[in-house]
Amino acid sequence: MDYSSHYTADTRETLMQKVQMRMSERRFQHVLGVEKMAIALAEKYGCSPEKASIAALTHDYAKERPDDEFMLVIKRDGFDPDLLNYGNAIWHGLVGASFVERELGITDPEILNAIRVHTTGAAKMTLLDKIIYVADYIEPGRNFPGVEDAREIALVDLDEAVAFETKHTLAHLIEQEQQIYPKTIETYNHWVAKK
């Protein structure tokens, strides 16, 4: 189904309910915050607000799935087996898009890609990819040192906001001695590192 071409208040409501059933109230409020931010960024930067809404509402759809469901899909659907060395943080977007497609009937490749790259970013990102990546980081419910700077930058220059988020997320992961997924490094090399 191509949701975005007939996106009415009713379609949105139905989608919201399907998402809400799959997560805690707290996470659902995060999703609504991302949607609000994503629509504002879409209007500012000239992207489809309908696509921004759908991608935002579904970006964390699979976040509360058990690990074994992800591992089954990774093995069954031809994902890179190296993914098995990571966990929910990496799987819920990259693999989660498969659940969104199958269970919610969302087939729009732009929306599915924005879901896939929302955690790690990518070297090449579409406008919608950037909007979801940044909206996820600065939605009104986020509260961490630097979020105010990120919000200000996002209102001025979306690419700068992608760079800011990428730099700070990677620094945080390294500080915590977390595993870095190669795609996260690619994002850093493209958007942050001096050439």
> Binding residues for Fe ion, per CB under 5 A?
60, 136
Which one of residues 71, 89, 112, 147 is an interface residue with ligand DGI (CB under 6 A)? 89
Rounded-to-integer distance, Cα 188 and Cα 43, Å = 27
Instruction: Using the structure block, give the residue that is written with the tokens 């991302």.
Output: 34
Could you tell me which residues come within 8 angstroms of residue 10 by beta carbon, excluding any fewer than 6 positions away?
none
User: If binding is defined by CB under 6 A, does position 119 make contact with ligand DGI?
Assistant: yes
Of how many residues is the chain composed?
195
Q: Please choose, out of 40-48, 97-105, 123-131, 173-181, the segment that lies near ligand DGI by the rule CB under 6 A.
A: 173-181
Least CB distance to ligand DGI at residue 120 (A)? 5
Residues numbered 29 to 88 that lie near ligand DGI (CB under 6 A) are 30, 60, 63
Q: How far is the CB of 92 from ligand DGI (least distance, A)?
A: 6
| Whole-angstrom distance, CA of residue 129 vs CA of residue 101 | 17
**DSSP per position, 138-164:** H-TT--STTHHHHHHHHHH-HHHHHHH
120 binds ligand DGI (CB under 6 A): yes
Interface with ligand DGI by CB under 6 A: which residues?
A: 30, 60, 63, 89-90, 93, 118-120, 136, 169, 173, 178-181, 184
